[in-house]
Amino acid sequence: MAVNPTWSPNAPVTAQKVILDANNNVQQWTSADGTTGAAFPNWSTTLAGFTPDGTGGWTLVVINPLTAPPLTGVMPLPPPVFVADADGLDPNAILNDMVSSFQNLAGRTLQPAQVERLLINLYAYRESLMRNAIQYAGEQNLLAFASFPMLDYLGQSDASRAIEDAVREGLKSSRIKGVEAGSQRTEEVANIVAMAVAG
């Protein structure tokens, strides 16, 4: 039997049974034991939405991100930029700008092995490191870009702990077959974890 079987007409259903609907979303039977109807249900596409069927009904518990309808009224934001001058984070642009500035002020062309050029190379490298550190520090204050341990400071420790617990329980119960590549489809593991976190 598949991890998430599909819907069948006039079939017996036990409480909490999970299936994949026609949209590849995960639906859970939220009624007492019963039977499905004869006609194909009109599946809800809203998370926690109820779909009546036969003697009970299904609740949408996981939306497949590949089939989710696009969000309306929400524009995806570009990645934040905290260093917004012409050179940005590009070390070559920083170096070229510093060499050009020096050559204009000194009125002469620098050669690659000259002491001044080597010193400018060092300064450009340090400037590049500083700019990348500023960018990274700014991103760590944004939930979408933060990483450990900043996620904990941003109040996401409960969410990350819930995901870890769901994976641990899935491994203990053998619903998740292992962590090795190829042991189980990623989509199946994602559905198992999402259902456990959703409660």
Q: Does the residue 82 lie in any domain? A: no
pLDDT digits (tens, 9 = 90+) for 4-53: 578 888 989 988 888 888 888 888 898 889 999 999 899 998 888 999 99
> Would you say the pTM of this structure is higher than 0.75?
no
Domain range for 130 is 91-139
In a domain, 124, yes or no: yes
Cis peptide before 5 (omega within 30 of 0): no
Strand 12-13 versus strand 34-35 pairing type = antiparallel
Residue 120 lies in a domain: yes
- Asked if 133 and 100 sit in the same domain, the reply is yes
In a domain, 84, yes or no: no
Whether residues 154 and 190 fall in one domain: yes
H helices present in the chain, as ranges: 91-106, 115-139, 150-153, 157-172, 186-198
Span 160-194, pLDDT tens digits: 778 888 888 888 888 888 767 677 877 788 888 88
